[in-house]
Structure 1
Amino acid sequence: MKVKDILDKKGTEIYSVKPEESVLEAISKMAELKIGALLVMKNDSLVGIISERDYRNKIILKGRTSKDTPVSQIMIDKVICVEPTDNINLCMQLMTNKKIRHLPVLDNKSVVGVISIGDVVKAVIESQKSEIDTLRNYIATGGGYPA
């Protein structure tokens, strides 16, 4: 299964903030949308990503105020991305090794979507279910093809 397959099912809606917006605005938007991260976009270019974890580690635990801190001061600016043609196994490997939960999807340097660890796990489960159903059908028909 490819990243494109996930985006085809979940959609390509992109939620973002600008680097100059306050962290409070970003966190409020995440809460409203019930998501864990936002892309940080300047014009139409991806310049970073901000997550709930960034808020916890760089605002709360450092005693800073989210109202007075711009997103640009706490965002991750070296964003790990994938392409629509990438396999979901690569996504799982990146997310596990880099300890991240969101991957922007770029096609010719343009953001075309975002996938989360939940999206990847769901896709893996669906793929495995399909394989199991095929194997069960194979066994039920005696290992041959139905007439």
Structure 2
Amino acid sequence: MLIDQILKTKGDVVTTIEASKSLSDAARLLDEKKIGAVVAMNGTSLAGVLSERDIARQVARHGRDALDLTVEESMTRGVITANPAETIDQCLGRMTDRRIRHLPVMRDGELAGIISIGDLVKWKIEETRAEADAMADYIKGG
């Protein structure tokens, strides 16, 4: 299954935040949306990804003052991305190798969506279940 198919079902809405915003703003946004990571933008350009883990690290280092830091000072840069024509297995492999949980999906240089490792595992289970059901039907019919 291709990432594009997942986005068509899941939707292409991506929660973003300007990289210049504070960690306090980012934490509120994550809480409000009930999500674990947000895509940081500089205008219309992908700047990074900020996760709950990034915020926790800054709080551990700087205490309450961390909430005044900017997203840009705390986010993961050099973001690993996916494209819509990739497969679930390609993206799962990349996420496992790089130990990341979220992949922004880029189409023609534009942010087209985001997938999490949870999204991919869910789809992989469904794909495997469908294959097993098809095999069982074939065996019963043969």
More helix as a share of residues = 2
Show the counterpart of 1:140: 140
Q: How does 1:44-123 map to 2 (within 5 A)?
A: 44-57=44-57, 59-64=58-63, 65-123=65-123
RMSD between aligned residues: 1.0
Structure 2 residue ranges without an equivalent (≥5): none
Q: Distance in 1 between matches of 2:67 and 2:74?
A: 13
Tell me what 1:145 maps to.
Answer: none
Q: TM-score, normalised by structure 1?
A: 0.92
Report the Cα offset of residue 69 of structure 1. Answer: 0.7
CA contact (8 A) 2:80 2:104 kept: yes
Per-residue deviation, residues 82-115 of structure 1 (Å, max 9, x unmatched)? 1000111111111111110000000111000000
Unpaired stretches in structure 1, ≥5 consecutive residues: 143-147
TM-score (norm 2): 0.95
Deviations 1:5-40 (A, max 9, x none): 110111000101101100011111111111110000
The alignment of Structure 1 onto Structure 2 pairs a total of residues equal to 141
Amino acid at match of 1:60: V
Q: Give 4+ residue runs of structure 1 displaced > 4 Å after superposition.
A: none
